Amino acid sequence: MAKITKRSPLAPDEFPKLPMIAGVSFAAAQAGVRYGGRTDVMLALLAPGTAMAGVFTRSATRSANVLDCQAKIGTPAEAGAAIVVNSGNSNAFTGRAGDESVAAICAAVARTTGVPETRVFTSSTGVIGERLPHDRIIAKLEELEAGLSEDAIEAAAHAIMTTDTFPKGAAASFSRDGKTVSIAGIAKGSGMIAPDMATMLVYVFTDAKIVQPDLQAMLSELTGPTFNSITVDSDTSTSDTLLMAATGVSGVTIPAGDAEFRAALHSVMLDLAHQVVRDGEGATKFVEIRVTGAANDADARTHAMAIANSPLVKTAIAGEDPNWGRIVMAVGKSGAAADRDRLTIRFGDVLVAENGWVAPSYREEDAAALMKEPEIFISVDLGLGAGTATVWTCDLTHGYIEINADYRS
């Protein structure tokens, strides 16, 4: 089994200090689903009235947990809610047994916490195709319930890690009417437990009072420029899940589309998304790709993702090679509109190519110096219209091969 212990060179120095969110309590435990000597299950209990919103993988082979969460998202909020997440086994592609595991966990959580089954949300991440030993999780529910604390979000962030090299958290807050509204979130992603694919799980909590449709609308909209604008290796998990809970305990009511709340939520989601990229398998470079001047925003995104997912671009960045020819290649193959002779390419502030050829002012040593930095900025202007998009990715290194070409057993 692949064992990754080295903290990503792109990791933040430490886990951030996250505010407590009134109406949410957390606990973590060692259930021994697959790992030994570490926590691998977390419970979050949410106050009555909590609105739940969610965004899920569009994979046609998504896991039993994802299907169950999707079915429950719109259920009435009065009874509160619970979230249970385990690492070590994804319960994906486990047939009918997978559905049975989800049902068994939800029933047991309902018995232990008093939250109805229709308000219990589960995620599983880890090995796929092996039956989830859900009894091990159920056996820990009383311990989890007894240990619930408003100040345990960091423990929850640790329990959901697979081969993530650091726990991921982010927060934002603002004042309104003399009260403070807080948002805090945790995530795991881009770590790999052989033989699984990289799964991204994200849980965001706020004490704001927002009705479910408004919360869902904001969460769905903000997923586009955040979690759906990152890519490590273009592969999509069967378990990707983003859940958001608004407890309302702050007493501050947030109307639909509130700009201040939207900005705060955007910052938390973007921060977590960037941390997922910074923990990309084998990553040594954090790369921002900004496309402007495309025929429209959709075309800009197509170009940006073609660049971000190109193995040739990603290996060039790993080699600190300012290989702009590969950017031209990726734009050309993307399928979106482009005119070779209107392309402008920059690395950071260095103008690399324009008018269909290398810029007269370009000196390779300038670009080569930028490529040695841990953060790389690539901008491409198509010269065609007003479409823009920004995406983030990492490089493709020997580390990625090492993590993913290892034997599973």
Of residues 271 and 279, the one with the C-beta less far from a second copy: 279
Place of tokens 């890690």: 161
Of residues 173 and 236, the one with the C-beta less far from a second copy: 236
Q: Could you write out the DSSP letters of every residue in 186-250?
A: EEE-S---TTPPP--EEEEEE-SB--HHHHHHHHHHHHTTTGGGEESSS---S--EEEEEE--TT
**Closest CB 56 distance from a second copy, rounded Å:** 12
Q: Smallest Cα–Cα separation from 19: which of 149, 147, 145, 153?
A: 153
Calpha distance 144→180 (Å, rounded): 29
Site for a second copy in 362-381 (CB under 8 A): 364
Q: Given candidates 9, 61, 107, 149, which one binds a second copy under the rule CB under 8 A?
A: 61
Q: Is 360 in the site for a second copy (CB under 8 A)?
A: no
Q: Given candidates 71, 97, 107, 263, which one binds a second copy under the rule CB under 8 A?
A: 97
Q: Is 339 in the site for a second copy (CB under 8 A)?
A: yes
Q: Is 100 in the site for a second copy (CB under 8 A)?
A: no
Which of 39, 113, 125, 199 is catalytic? The answer is: 199
Q: Are 188 and 161 in contact (CB under 8 A)?
A: yes
Buried b (16+ CB within 10 A) or exposed e, 215-235: bbebbeebbebbbbbbbbbee
Contacts with a second copy, 259-288, as mask; x by CB under 8 A: ------------------------------
Q: Are 245 and 215 in contact (CB under 8 A)?
A: no
Q: Smallest Cα–Cα separation from 385: which of 349, 336, 347?
A: 336
Order of strands, sheet of 179-188, starting from the edge strand that comes earlier in the sequence? 51-56, 241-246, 201-206, 179-188, 168-176
Token pair belonging to 59: 């994979």
Q: Is 217 in the site for a second copy (CB under 8 A)?
A: no
Cα within 13 Å of Cα(28), Cβ side = 17
Q: Is 71 in the site for a second copy (CB under 8 A)?
A: no
End-to-end CA distance of the chain: 6
Say if residue 195 is preceded by a cis peptide, omega within 30 of 0. Answer: yes
Q: Is 30 in the site for a second copy (CB under 8 A)?
A: no
Q: Is 238 in the site for a second copy (CB under 8 A)?
A: yes
Q: Which stretch binds a second copy (CB under 8 A): 38-46, 68-76, 179-187, 340-348?
A: 340-348
Q: Given candidates 330, 370, 378, 389, which one binds a second copy under the rule CB under 8 A?
A: 330
Q: Given candidates 40, 68, 207, 233, which one binds a second copy under the rule CB under 8 A?
A: 233
Q: Is 231 a catalytic residue?
A: no
Of residues 146 and 405, the one with the C-beta less far from a second copy: 405
Q: Smallest Cα–Cα separation from 190: which of 408, 395, 409?
A: 395
Catalytic residues: 199
Q: Residues at the annotated binding site for substrate?
A: 162, 188, 199, 281, 404, 409
Enumerate binding residues for a second copy (CB under 8 A): 57, 59-62, 92-97, 127-129, 194-198, 233-238, 309-312, 315-316, 318-321, 323-326, 328-334, 336-341, 343, 353, 355-358, 364, 396-398, 400-401, 404-409
